[in-house]
């Protein structure tokens, strides 16, 4: 199944709710993913530009888009970024395909 990397930031209200009543946010994400036929492979809090990251397996892009929409529409997130990941076989296939492409750069 395809893999996707997601990064997210919580709203101030969501952070306050977690501080007031700590809970396992990975479990909540796993439940949402499984309800759509996806699987959370890993879920982490992080420092920096984003508050956390997750790695998910899903059958297709539409499933991941639905997951992000479902969680994002809750109002708990201020920012979400999702990246489709290619395994090495897919990356090498893309490289071979690119090698046969015709392209004229600007001149």
CATH of 3-99 among 1.10.300.10, 3.10.20.30, 3.30.70.1060, 3.40.50.150: 3.30.70.1060
pLDDT tens profile 5-58: 999 999 999 999 999 999 999 999 999 999 999 999 999 999 999 999 999 999
Domain ranges of the chain: 3-99
Q: What pLDDT sits at residue 73?
A: 94
At 50-105, the pLDDT tens digits run: 999 999 999 999 999 999 999 999 999 999 999 999 999 999 999 999 999 999 89
What is the per-residue DSSP string for 2-22? -EEEEEEEE-HHHHHHHHHS-
pLDDT value for 27: 96
pTM, to two decimals: 0.86
3-state helix, strand, coil in the chain (%, to 5): 40, 30, 30
């Amino acid at each position: 199944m395809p893999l996707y990397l997601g990064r997210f930031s919580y709203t101030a209200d969501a952070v306050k709710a977690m501080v007031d009543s700590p809970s396992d946010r990975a479990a909540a994400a796993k439940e949402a993913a499984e309800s759509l036929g996806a699987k959370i492979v890993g879920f982490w809090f992080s420092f920096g530009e984003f508050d956390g990251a997750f790695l998910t397996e899903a059958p297709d892009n539409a499933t991941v888009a639905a997951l992000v929409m479902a969680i994002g529409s809750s109002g708990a997130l201020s920012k979400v970024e999702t990246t489709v990941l290619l395994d090495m076989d897919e990356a090498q296939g893309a490289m071979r395909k690119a090698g046969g492409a015709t392209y004229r750069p600007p001149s």
